[in-house]
Amino acid sequence: MRRPPFVLLLLALLSLLPARAEETEGVPPLLLDALTKYAADFDHWAYTETRTTTDEHGVPQSVTQVRFDPSRPYGEQYQPMLIDGKPPTKRQLESYRRRGEKRGDRLMKDEEEGRTASSRLQHFSIDGGKASVDLAHAMVVAEDAASVTYEVPMRNDGRATFPIEKVQLLVRVNRQGRTFERVDLRQRESIRLKLVFKITGASGGVDFAAVDATHATAVVRMSGDFSATLLFMKLEASFDAKRSDFKRVKPYSERFGVKIGPMKALNF
């Protein structure tokens, strides 16, 4: 089954970075600090991502495991170890090589056009269109002595058919470290994308943890589940992606002492 838009949305949100300085007006300081630290560290970790999924009938699928290392030349940054439970084929290795090269092309284009981690807008692609998060209107919905949870509004910026306003985005930030703890997406109500296809329930989350006491928290897990109906058939799917074996590295993009655009989330 084609990956549902809700799952794509969860993955897209991993690329959120602070906007230009003039666009941070009104953003809660605690949330802005967490975003800034995340942006600064995001492309400095090599890790292994192990993904398990179920198909639309809830049947577990084979494991896919990829090593990502942003310090290597772009064509070598994605190193698949298992694809659907099997060693990668020559064709699959070539596919991941091209993916790394395309990433390098995007980063070089960012450098040429003057876009850096501190100058990117909070925009992402979803369902063939563009959407964005409105950090300036984030509201506190829960807090305690250890953390603060914000609800962050999202909106369509045109062309996307996915009704993003029916999805709630929650971001929990640690008070002391001023770093992310968790990001959650929750479906508010049923979503009908086509006449015969309706998403009846979906949720997803991103967990952050300290992998090095001297740096900000990093993404260590992404998970989600999805249920829908197609005509009279019920569909259910889930995914779980865990990151391990973290290593602090210097990005390949900084090999000449120049820092350029951010890394996109792994999406395979």
- The confidence score (pLDDT) of residue 19 equals 40
Query: Taking a C-beta distance cutoff of 8 angstroms, is the pair 29, 232 a contact?
Result: no
Pairing of strands 154-156, 179-187: unpaired
**Percentage of the residues of the chain whose pLDDT score is greater than 90:** 42
Lowest-pLDDT choice from 67-71, 122-126, 160-164: 122-126
Q: Is 138 within a domain? A: yes
- The confidence score (pLDDT) of residue 135 equals 86
What are residue 243's DSSP bridge partners? Answer: 49
Domain extent for 193? 5-254
- The confidence score (pLDDT) of residue 185 equals 86
- The confidence score (pLDDT) of residue 2 equals 43
Mean pLDDT of 110-129: 57
Q: Is 268 within a domain? A: no
Residue 141 has pLDDT above 80, yes or no: yes
Is 117 or 233 the better-scoring residue by pLDDT?
Answer: 233
Q: Is 264 within a domain? A: no
What are residue 228's DSSP bridge partners? Answer: 199, 235
pLDDT tens digits, one per residue of 28-67: 999 999 988 888 887 899 999 999 988 777 788 889 999 9
Q: Is 14 within a domain? A: yes
Residue 188 has pLDDT above 80, yes or no: yes
- Can you say whether the dihedral through the CA atoms of 20, 24, 30, 31 is positive or negative? negative
Lowest-pLDDT choice from 36-40, 186-190, 191-195: 191-195
Mean pLDDT of 18-26: 55
What domain count does the chain have? 1
Indicate the SS3 state at residue 188: coil
Is 232 or 241 the better-scoring residue by pLDDT?
Answer: 241
Q: Is 214 within a domain? A: yes
Mean pLDDT across the chain, nearest whole number?
Answer: 81
**Percentage of the residues of the chain whose pLDDT score is greater than 70:** 78
Both structure tokens of 89: 């084929």
For the chain, the farthest-separated pair of C-alpha atoms sits apart, in whole angstroms, at 58
Residue 166 pLDDT level (bands cut at 50, 70, 90): confident
What are residue 247's DSSP bridge partners? Answer: 46
Residue 134 has pLDDT above 70, yes or no: yes
Residue 82 pLDDT level (bands cut at 50, 70, 90): very high
Residue 11 has pLDDT above 70, yes or no: no
Residue 21 pLDDT level (bands cut at 50, 70, 90): very low
Is 155 or 252 the better-scoring residue by pLDDT?
Answer: 252
Instruction: Give the ranges where the chain is alpha helix by DSSP (H).
Output: 5-12, 29-41, 90-112
